Structure 1
Amino acid sequence: MSKQELQVLTGCCTPISEAALDPAQAADGAAVFKALADPIRLRLMSIIASAGDEICVCDITPHFEVSGPTISHHLKVLREAGLVDCERRGTWVYYWPLPERLTWLSSLLSAPAAAGL
């Protein structure tokens, strides 16, 4: 008798853990992964996160072979996903990662129970 047939007969299945993501948590996580699924945005996130505290967009743009408006669009997507925040200072905009969101992302990847969405 197969394992599936035995489960049907006995009614014993592996219960879903309380630690599993609920639908709202899964939707939130999917939005973050969708934002990071683009190679430019993933690089932007890496540059911003590794900058230490904050980084000016003027220091980010030269690392890419796309236009400034394209970089701005990708940064907007990262902001909307809650991964970075920014502040305009004169003509420049400074970006920094949101540590609590990076911790959440790390927890989501390592153990959904600890994600605390």
Structure 2
Amino acid sequence: MQITSIRLKNVRRFVEPVEIAGIGPGLNVLSAPNEAGKSTFFDALHAVFLTGHRSWDKKLRALQPKAGGDPQVTVTFRVRDADWRLRKTWSQSPSRKEARLWRDGTPPRQPRIA
């Protein structure tokens, strides 16, 4: 698997959408001043792949910005010859929790994922 981009919205300091795109094969370096949000991107990456969208535990609540809002993380990645996009939204409100997965721009037959 090769991650190609990650987009955050309502994640800690990033209330407005922010994206790191153009992640290529091999070693990629994320460099920025202290408190710029580098760790936030790694915490969001961990959450999108390893935490179910129905969760609202302490770690997910810590992703929420101080102003409020539902944390949303979108990651695009390549596996073999397919491009995938995974988007998760976590919320205190069950009706706003969401997980969506697309393959080559098309949702799969069973879009519900953990």
TM over 0.5: no
Q: TM-score, normalised by structure 2?
A: 0.32
Q: TM-score, normalised by structure 1?
A: 0.31
- Bigger share in helix: 1
Higher Cα Rg: structure 1 or 2? Answer: 1
- Bigger share in strand: 2
